[in-house]
Amino acid sequence: MSLTRRGFTQALAAGSVLGAARRPNIVMIYADDLGYGDLGCYGHPTIRTPNLDRMAREGMRFTQWYSAAPVCTPSRAALLTGRYPVRSGLTRVLFPDSPGGIPTSEVTIAQTLKSAGYRTAMVGKWHLGCLPEYLPLRHGFDTYFGLPYSNDMRPLAGPGSGGNPKHPPLPLIRGDKAIETNPDQSQLTIRYTEEALKTINGPKDRPFFLYLAHTFPHVPLYASERFRGKSARGLYGDVVEELDWSTGEVLKALKQSGQDSNTLVVFSSDNGPWLPRLENGGSAGLLREGKGTTWDGGMREPCLARWPGTIPAASVSAAQGNMMDWFPTFARAAGAPLPAGVTLDGEDMTGVLTGKDQGKERVFYYWHQDDLRAVRKGPWKLHTTTNETATQPVRTTKLDKPALYNLEVDPSEKYDVSGKHPDVVRELAGLLESHLAGIRRGEPQK
CA distance 22 to 333: 10
pLDDT of 120: 98
HSE (CB half, 13 Å, CA atoms) of 296? 28
Nearest to 79 by CA among 397, 303, 249: 303
Q: Give tens-digit pLDDT for 26-45.
A: 999 999 999 999 999 999 99
pLDDT of 394: 35
pLDDT of 336: 98
pLDDT of 218: 96
pTM: 0.92
CA distance 49 to 244: 5
pLDDT of 388: 57
DSSP per position, 421-445:
-HHHHHHHHHHHHHHHHHHHHTPPP
Domain 370-441, CATH class in plain words? alpha beta
Active site residues: 72, 127
Instruction: Give percent helix, percent strand, percent coil of the chain, each to the nearest 5.
Output: 30, 20, 50
CA distance 302 to 68: 14
Domain 5-353, CATH class in plain words? alpha beta
pLDDT of 399: 52
DSSP per position, 176-238:
TEEEEES--GGGHHHHHHHHHHHHHTS--SS-EEEEEE--TTSSSP---TTTTT--TT-HHHH
Query: Are the folds of 5-353 and 370-441 the same?
Result: no
Instruction: Return the sign of the alpha-carbon dihedral for residues 188, 194, 200, 204.
Output: negative
pLDDT of 11: 42
DSSP per position, 267-317:
EEESS----SSTTTS---TTSS--TTSSSHHHHEEEEEEE-TTTSPTTEEE
CA distance 42 to 44: 6
CA distance 217 to 226: 17
pLDDT of 167: 87
What are the residue boundaries of the structural domains of the chain, listed by start?
5-353, 370-441
pLDDT of 51: 99
**Beta strands 263-269 and 25-31, pairing class:** parallel
Residues 425/418, Cβ–Cβ less than 8 Å? yes
pLDDT of 393: 40
pLDDT of 400: 62
**Overall residue count recorded for the chain in this entry:** 446
pLDDT < 70 stretches in the chain = 1-21, 156-162, 276-279, 386-400, 445-446
Q: Give tens-digit pLDDT for 315-328.
A: 999 999 999 999 99
Neighbours of 348 (CB within 10 A): 18
* 115-153 b/e (C-beta count within 10 Å ≥ 16 → b): bbbbbbbbbbbbbbbbeeebbbbbbbbbbbbbbbbbbeb
